[in-house]
Structure formats: structure tokens, C-alpha cells
Amino acid sequence: MKKVIEIQHLSKSFGTHEVLKDIDFSVNKGEVVCVIGSSGSGKSTLLRCINLLETPSGGQIIYQGENILDNKHNINSYRTKLGMVFQSFNLFNNFDVLTNCLVGQTKVLKRSKGEAEKVAMKYLKVVGMDRYVNAKPRQLSGGQKQRVAIARALSMEPDVMLFDEPTSALDPEMVGEVLKVMKELAETGLTMLIVTHEMEFAREVSDRVVFMDKGVIVEEGSPEQIFNNPQNERTKAFLKRTL
Ligand code: ADP
Ligand code: MG
């Protein structure tokens, strides 16, 4: 299987606090991987290291056969290959929905406005927000904002989509619409790495589930393995608390 991203011996410390410890991990093309674990276990830091919002303290991130932490590597071009969806949407509040989906395309990918609009409309349709092109973020519900954020990330046509608890900031009645869109994306063969507390969702959509605790990957496997037959005591204890 082709690896889109491979992480070797990744570590990250904040001061003396070692938040990620010797993480080895990869995401294959077309794979949907869910990362689960208690708050504070390092899940967000792992995603933020992968897209270089944080600088890893050690280890390697291999993308297309090269360690992108090498000094000479072009980090900006790597970043455009990763779509990121945050808990808090991070839309540009002064821009309407369509413009939110255009800026990265025209500024970073240098697409023409016409082409960018075509691509944006395609993905706004995918998330069911094509009727809101002229709306400003403040006019939208949380679920709608998150769907726009997903369309904006997809508009860059990344190799992998990273989601950091995309439904955690939503009112309960809006969680479903976002998970539904993500499930549909998973079914199209998009490569996705998702940090989530939605265990039912993780069970349904994942090809692989990764359980993290205190900065290490404790256990990973198919959803059946992790949810029905966890091997590690820490995984068992976590699932007992959450399921
Ligand atoms: P999770 O996403 O699993 O809840 P995080 O990756 O956010 O966990 O955090 C893991 C640990 O790293 C926590 O103890 C957190 O306080 C610490 N941490 C995260 N970001 C920073 C930072 N910028 N500075 C210092 N400590 C941080
Ligand atoms: Mg987090």
C-alpha cells in the first residue's frame, strides 16, 4: 500500500514536557484513520506536527520519499498538500462563503479566479453549502460553518485531509450533518486522518483506529480489533470510560 505520509520517531516537547514520544505512524493512500484518546494525550500536537503548525523536536516526516524536516525542503509546497479542518472552523469572517473557498486557491496555488470558482463550487456542492455562496460566516450555524471549512480545505485538492475534533465545538444537533459529510467523503476514497471523540463514527468509517495515551501510540488496529477486542489495559480503560 502506498504511504501518503510516514512518521518516524517523532517527538515533541514543550519545555521539559515531552508531549509526543517516539511516534511511528503512517497513513496510506485512500485510508481513513481515526485517532482516539483522552484529552491531553497529544492528538492535536500530532496533527499540528504533521502539518508543521508545530516544529517537531525530533524524528522524521516522510512525504513522497523525502524527509520534509530536512532544512532544504520546501515546507510551503508540502503544506498545500495537507487540508486541515479545526475544531473552531477558522473561517475568514470578513469574507463570504465563496471567497473563503477561493483565497487559498488563487493566492497559494495561483489558480485563476474562474478556475478557482469552479473548484470551490464543486466542493461546496459536495458539502451541501452551494446555496450559501454569498453568506458571511456569522450568518451560518456552526454545522454550516464547519461544512464550509471542509469545502475550503477540499478546494485545495490536498493529498490528505486532517481533521482535529471537527464536531467538538458544535451544538449536539449539528454534529450529525458534519459527520454525514465526512462519512460521504470517506466513501469517495479520500485519504483522511481524523482526531475524534465520536466513537460510533470512528467505528463506522475507519479503516484503522489509533489509540493514543500520554504521548505514545498505545494500540492500533481495525475498528473491530480496537473496539471489540482491545489488547492493552489502557485502551480497555479508555473505552470503558467513553463507550
Ligand atoms: P489532545 O489534543 O490529545 O487533547 P494536545 O496535543 O492538545 O492533546 O496536548 C497534549 C499536551 O501538550 C497537553 O498536556 C498540553 O497541555 C500540552 N501542550 C499542547 N500545546 C502546547 C503548547 N503550545 N505549549 C505548551 N504545552 C502544550
Ligand atoms: Mg486536541
**In this predicted structure, what is the pLDDT of residue 214?**
97
**In this predicted structure, what is the pLDDT of residue 227?**
97
What are the C-alpha distances in Å from 22 to residues 10, 127, 210, 214, 236?
5, 37, 15, 12, 22
**In this predicted structure, what is the pLDDT of residue 71?**
82
Reported as a single tens digit per residue, the pLDDT across 126-146 is 999 999 999 999 999 999 999
Query: Is pLDDT of 95 > 80?
Result: yes
**In this predicted structure, what is the pLDDT of residue 154?**
98
Closest-approaching ligand to the CA atom of 21: 1
pLDDT, average across residues 57-64: 96
Q: Which percentage of the chain shows pLDDT scores above 70?
A: 100
- CA 88 to ligand 1 centroid distance, Å: 16
**In this predicted structure, what is the pLDDT of residue 73?**
84
pLDDT-based confidence at residue 99 (cuts at 50, 70, 90): very high
Q: Are 149 and 120 in contact (CB under 8 A)?
A: no
- CA 189 to ligand 1 centroid distance, Å: 31
Residue closest via CA to ligand 1's atom 16 equals 40
Reported as a single tens digit per residue, the pLDDT across 12-55 is 999 999 999 999 999 999 999 999 999 999 999 999 999 999 99
DSSP summary character for residue 31: -
Closest ligand 1 atom, residue 37 Cα: 3
Query: Is pLDDT of 64 > 80?
Result: yes
- CA 82 to ligand 2 centroid distance, Å: 18
Reported as a single tens digit per residue, the pLDDT across 199-233 is 999 999 999 999 999 999 999 999 999 999 999 99
Closest-approaching ligand to the CA atom of 13: 1
DSSP letters, 121-171, are: HHHHHHTT-GGGTT--GGGS-HHHHHHHHHHHHHHT--SEEEEESTTTTS-
pLDDT-based confidence at residue 56 (cuts at 50, 70, 90): very high
Does the pTM exceed 0.90? yes
Residue closest via CA to ligand 1's atom 11 equals 40
What is the average pLDDT value for the chain, to the nearest integer?
97
**In this predicted structure, what is the pLDDT of residue 78?**
94
pLDDT, average across residues 150-179: 97
